[in-house]
Amino acid sequence: MRSHALLLGAVLTAVGCISPPSAGERLIADANQVVTAARFGRMDLVLACVKPELRSGFMLSHAEWGGKIRILDMEYNGATPLEDKKAAVAVSVAWSRLDETIVRTTSLKQTWEFGEERWQMIGEEIVDGDPKLLSTGSTSSRDGELASAP
């Protein structure tokens, strides 16, 4: 009986020492979730990670995805802390137009911001490769935030 009590105490102590994921760990998880969702055409899941007031601009810049543009592969390439509660996420995209057989590549830099206890995408810009992946070439406004619908 005493060994069971010691075992229970050890387990409860170990469980109590498990800390929640850090903001950085949550960013990596959220960015990977966006990459996986976009790769499989689940733009509803991607939009859930875009700051609500910027979603219409994001949808406009990605309007051809799943229509004229087919995403072949997306990869998360790391995150870099920026200012307080902001980070840049690097993403590479392999894609093709449905009316062509050419595989194109584009590198994106997404800007994420931590707020309301979660990370949200607030900007996205093309840094290398084919600029035609996004309808406007960039969804960033002058201040680095996603452009809103006109």
* CA dist 15 → 9, 12, 18, 19 (Å): 10, 5, 5, 9
Question: Is the model's pLDDT at 142 over the cut of 70?
Answer: no
Whether 39 is covered by a domain: the verdict is: yes
Model confidence over 123-134: pLDDT tens digits?
999 999 999 999
Q: What is the DSSP letter of 109?
A: E
Check the CA dihedral 138-40-43-62 and report its sign: positive
140 lies in a domain?
A: no
Does residue 144 belong to any structural domain of this protein?
A: no
Q: How many domains does the chain have?
A: 1
> Distance (Å, rounded) from C-alpha 118 to C-alpha 26?
8
pLDDT digits (tens, 9 = 90+) for 13-68: 655 567 777 888 999 999 999 999 999 999 999 999 999 999 999 999 999 999 99
CATH number, domain of 128, equals 3.10.450.50
Q: Domain for residue 142, yes or no?
A: no
* Measured distance CA(137)–CA(63) in Å, rounded: 12
Q: How far is CA 7 from the centre of its chain?
A: 41
Residue 1's pLDDT is 59
For residue 103, is it within any domain?
yes
Domain hosting 63: range is 17-133
What is this structure's pTM? 0.78
Is there a domain that residue 68 lies in? yes
